[in-house]
Amino acid sequence: MISLEERNEVLDMVKKLSYYFEKTKNSLCEPYKLSSIQSTIILDVFHNEGTKVTDICSRLGKSTNTVSPLINRLVEHGYLTKEKNEDDQRVVGIFLTDKAKGIMGKLMDDIGAFTWPMFDALTDEEFKKVYESLVILANLTYNADKGDK
């Protein structure tokens, strides 16, 4: 049986990792004058070109009141475009501009420059343990998230 102390230790590690990754993400986004959430939206559109605002909100677990103004700002700054669906004019898709695609390429390179040295410091066995643990954690959180909906 997992002790309360062990559970609290795991929670503390998750909090510290979350803080570390958020701080790192902010510093990686800073040169591009993007906030962490703005970069997350751009990354979401990068992986889901033509997506709807409501779908972005669902994937990010944010309300339309939070995401819509951020998308509008990203449109104003030339990172995203809104285009009506040809088949249904009521549906608006969100697309990346060339400006955003250029930044995403640079940001992905920056992320690689940040992460690869950490991975390279691990032995194959250590990397496998980290990978397997993250798969378990990801599956737990994905399943917990599905229960919330």
Q: Can you give the CATH number for the domain in which 70 is found? A: 1.10.10.10
- To which H or E segment does residue 80 belong? strand 80-84
Residues 131-141: tens digit of each pLDDT:
999 999 889 88
Residues 9-30: tens digit of each pLDDT:
999 999 999 899 888 888 988 8
- Domains of the chain: total: 1
Cα angle, residue 121 at apex, residues 118 and 127 outer, rounded to 5°: 85
Domain that holds residue 133: 13-148
Measured CA to CA, the distance from residue 104 to residue 96 in angstroms comes to: 10
At residue 149, does pLDDT exceed 50?
Answer: no
pLDDT value for 74: 96
At residue 148, does pLDDT exceed 70?
Answer: no
Measured CA to CA, the distance from residue 56 to residue 112 in angstroms comes to: 25
Name the pTM for this structure: 0.75
At residue 56, does pLDDT exceed 50?
Answer: yes
Asked if residues 46 and 104 have their Cβ atoms less than 8 Å apart, the reply is: yes
Q: Is residue 4 part of a domain?
A: no
Residues β-bridged to residue 84: 92
